[in-house]
Amino acid sequence: MAKTDVPGGIAEKRKQARRVVRGLAKTYPDVECALIHDSPFQLLVATILSAQCTDVRVNAETPKLFKKYPTPQKLAASRQADVERIVKPLGFFRAKATNISGMAQKLVEEFDEEVPRTLDELVSLPGVGRKTANVVLGTAFGISSGVVVDTHVKRISNLLGLTTSKNPEIIERELNAVLPKKEWIMYSHRVIHHGRRICIARRPNCPECPLLKCCDRVGLPELER
pLDDT tens-place string over residues 129-145: 999 999 999 999 999 99
In a domain, 220, yes or no: no
Q: Which of 141, 163, 196 is the last residue of a domain?
A: 141
> Side chain identity at 186, as an amino acid letter?
M
- Is residue 96 one of the residues assigned to a domain? yes
pLDDT at 9 over 80: yes
- What pLDDT does 179 receive? 98
Cβ–Cβ under 8 Å, residues 172 and 146: yes
CA distance to 24, 74, 123, 183, per residue, from 31 (Å): 10, 32, 26, 13
pTM of the full predicted structure?
Answer: 0.91
Question: What CATH code is carried by the domain that includes residue 180?
Answer: 1.10.1670.10
Instruction: Provide the percentage of residues in the chain whose pLDDT is more than 70.
Output: 92
Render pLDDT for 146-194 as a digit per residue (tens, 0 to 9): 999 999 999 999 999 999 999 999 999 999 999 999 999 999 999 999 9
- Same domain for 135 and 121, yes or no, is yes
222 pLDDT higher than 70: no
pLDDT number for residue 219: 44
Q: Is residue 71 part of a domain?
A: yes
Residue positions annotated with a catalytic role: 131, 150
Is residue 67 domain-resident?
yes
Residue 36 carries which DSSP code? Answer: -
pLDDT digits (tens, 9 = 90+) for 69-85: 999 999 999 999 999 99
Lowest mean pLDDT among 7-21, 56-70, 114-128, 180-194: 7-21
Is 189 a domain residue?
A: yes
Question: What local confidence, expressed as pLDDT, does residue 28 receive?
Answer: 98
* Same domain for 127 and 48: yes
Contacts 24+ apart (CB under 8 A), 54-59: 57/89, 57/90, 58/90, 59/34, 59/35
The reply to whether 3 falls in a domain is: no
pLDDT interval class at 202 (50, 70, 90): confident
Domain that residue 84 falls in? 40-141
Give pLDDT, residue 6: 52
pLDDT of residue 216: 74
Q: Once rounded to an integer, what is the mean pLDDT over residues 24-51?
A: 98
Q: Do residues 159 and 208 share a domain?
A: yes
Whole-angstrom distance, CA of residue 218 vs CA of residue 131: 28
Distance from chain centroid for Cα 113? 24
Residue 1 inside a domain? The answer is no
Report how many domains make up the chain. Answer: 2
Q: Are 104 and 72 in contact (CB under 8 A)?
A: yes
